[in-house]
DNA sequence: GAGTTTGAAACT
DNA sequence: CAGTTTCAAACTC
């Protein structure tokens, strides 16, 4: 940018794209810095504030932008670095996995119900989480599971309503809906009508001995792929159940044939669980060189009515060469126990009625660039 | 294309 | 840190 002329109208006429001049003519290599996905039209921020989507994503502006008075280019690299340093003084993590951070921090949509591109989660192609403060969330990639952020218990009821109306056109992930990528054998559930795409209505076992295994066949190409992705690829499994006292989910694992080898893909821990879906950054980041550890059991303790929990299945980071073939299936097995081991006597068997059913909702979050 | 709405970022 | 202003993008007409 040549100068901060107070009269921007003068600049707009002839050469209103300052970065274009600088990038294209003086710094042809800058296009490799910007992946081309970012375009901005900044007029006042000089593209050195987070208002600017290029700056926000850590890129220099490029030819696709139509910004004015742009500083965010190779030509002004030193100045940009200085500005970034100043920003980092205030927020050391300002430039770390910005998109992830945004997703982690969640959106605050109040009016758009997370259905428009205003929603930062939707823009990133991910569902809203408990971290979001949205109201009336209808994010197509996954609605905010926190009832308190969604007008009472409407969110939970919506899930159950959707679940009970088999064949409903509503889906929380289009890929899952379109391909019915979660399949449960009839003999596992006894009634295939209980299955509605990503919503699974499973009877809660009445005692530990009877605790069944539920098998889920999940096609990898419909699930966030387990390869390295800076946005991570959490699979969030949310469960809700009325009047839960105690329960434990164990033996949740994935098993797939992988490049001709039968191998378990296991992280340590294999999945991440936190009642509040804690910050994604706290999830251990498994390197592909690390040996996957045996799965540990994870407690899943809920109390009270309308209790709600969620856990994230964190895929390991694998190199792109280790990606599965499209269509390759992952078998997930979920073992429900009606009580927590080693925490006092088992509660008495509970009746197998509607109120005691365990409701599962699978949110497959596709964080890959669209 | 102009004007409005929206929500994040910046500011006070 | 809550409220306000600024900003750029999304949206509407």
d(CA A216, CA A320): 25
Classify the C-alpha dihedral A269-A271-A274-A278 as positive or negative.
positive
Domain-embedded: residue A100: no
Nearest nucleotide relative to A45: CA against C1': C7
Which A residues between 111 and 130 have a beta carbon under 7 A from any strand B atom?
111-112, 118-120
- Asked if strand C comes closer than 7 Å to A50 Cβ, the answer is no
A130 and A274 together in one domain: no
A249 and A334 together in one domain: yes
Domain-embedded: residue A369: no
Q: Among residues A152, A168, A186, which one ends one of the domains?
A: A152
Protein-proximal nucleotides of chain B (any atom < 7 Å from a CB): 5-10
List pLDDT tens digits, range A138-176: 776 666 655 444 332 222 222 222 222 222 222 222 222
Helix, strand or coil for residue A86?
Answer: helix
- Asked if strand C comes closer than 7 Å to A122 Cβ, the answer is no
A165 and A132 together in one domain: no
Q: Among residues A63, A90, A117, which one ends one of the domains?
A: A90
What is the per-residue pLDDT for A103? Answer: 40
d(CA A333, CA A250): 9
What is the per-residue pLDDT for A83? Answer: 84
What is the per-residue pLDDT for A142? Answer: 64
Domain-embedded: residue A119: yes
Whether the Cβ atoms of residue A199 and residue A143 lie closer than 8 Å to each other: no
Protein-proximal nucleotides of chain C (any atom < 7 Å from a CB): 6-11
Half-sphere exposure for A145 (CA within 13 Å, toward CB): 25
- The ranges of chain A with pLDDT < 50 are 1-36, 97-104, 147-370
Instruction: Characterise A159 by phi-psi region: left (phi > 0), alpha (psi -120 to 50), beta (else).
Output: alpha
Domain-embedded: residue A247: yes
A161 and A290 together in one domain: yes
A144 and A71 together in one domain: no
Helix, strand or coil for residue A278?
Answer: coil
A287 and A253 together in one domain: yes
A178 and A232 together in one domain: yes
A175 and A305 together in one domain: yes
Total structural domains in chain A?
Answer: 3
| Residue A104, token pair as written in the block | 């982690």
A133 and A179 together in one domain: no
A281 and A160 together in one domain: yes
A223 and A297 together in one domain: yes
What is the per-residue pLDDT for A258? Answer: 22
Nearest nucleotide relative to A47: CA against C1': C8
CA-to-C1' distance for A85 and B10, Å? Answer: 17
List pLDDT tens digits, range A203-218: 333 333 332 333 233 3
* Boundaries of domain holding A200: 156-364
DSSP bridge partners of A23: none
Nearest nucleotide relative to A90: CA against C1': B10
Domain-embedded: residue A209: yes
Which A residues between 57 and 116 have a beta carbon under 7 A from any strand C atom?
116
């Amino acid at each position: 940018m040549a100068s901060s002329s107070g009269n921007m109208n003068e600049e707009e006429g002839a050469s209103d794209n300052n970065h274009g001049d600088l990038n294209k003519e003086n710094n042809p290599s800058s296009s490799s810095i910007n992946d081309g996905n970012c375009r901005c039209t900044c007029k006042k921020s000089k593209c050195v504030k987070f208002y600017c989507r290029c700056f926000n994503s850590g890129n220099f502006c490029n030819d696709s932008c139509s910004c004015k008075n742009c500083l965010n280019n190779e030509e002004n690299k030193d100045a940009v670095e200085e500005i970034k340093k100043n920003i980092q003084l205030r927020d050391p993590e300002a430039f770390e996995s910005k998109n992830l951070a945004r997703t982690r921090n969640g959106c605050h949509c109040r009016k758009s119900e997370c259905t428009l591109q205003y929603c930062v989660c939707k823009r990133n192609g991910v569902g809203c989480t408990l971290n979001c403060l949205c109201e009336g969330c209808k994010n197509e990639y996954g609605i905010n599971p926190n009832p308190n952020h969604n007008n009472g218990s409407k969110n939970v009821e919506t899930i159950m309503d959707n679940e009970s109306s088999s064949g409903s056109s509503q889906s929380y992930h289009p890929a899952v809906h379109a391909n019915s990528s979660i399949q449960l054998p009839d003999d596992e559930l006894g009634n295939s009508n209980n299955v509605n795409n990503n919503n699974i209505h499973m009877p809660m076992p009445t005692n530990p001995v009877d605790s069944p295994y539920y098998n889920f066949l999940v096609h990898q190409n419909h699930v966030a792929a387990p390869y390295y992705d800076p946005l991570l690829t959490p699979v969030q499994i949310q469960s809700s159940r009325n009047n839960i006292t105690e329960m434990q989910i164990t033996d949740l694992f994935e098993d797939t044939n992988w490049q001709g080898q039968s191998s378990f893909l296991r992280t340590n821990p294999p999945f991440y669980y936190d009642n509040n879906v804690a910050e994604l950054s706290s999830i251990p980041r498994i390197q592909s060189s690390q040996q996957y550890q045996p799965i540990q059991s994870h407690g899943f303790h809920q109390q009270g009515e309308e209790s709600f929990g969620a856990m994230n299945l964190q895929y390991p980071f694998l190199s792109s060469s280790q990606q599965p073939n499209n269509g390759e299936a992952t078998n997930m097995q979920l073992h429900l126990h009606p009580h927590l081991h080693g925490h006092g006597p088992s509660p008495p068997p509970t009746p197998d009625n509607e109120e005691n059913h365990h409701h599962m909702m699978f949110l497959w979050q596709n964080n890959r660039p669209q």
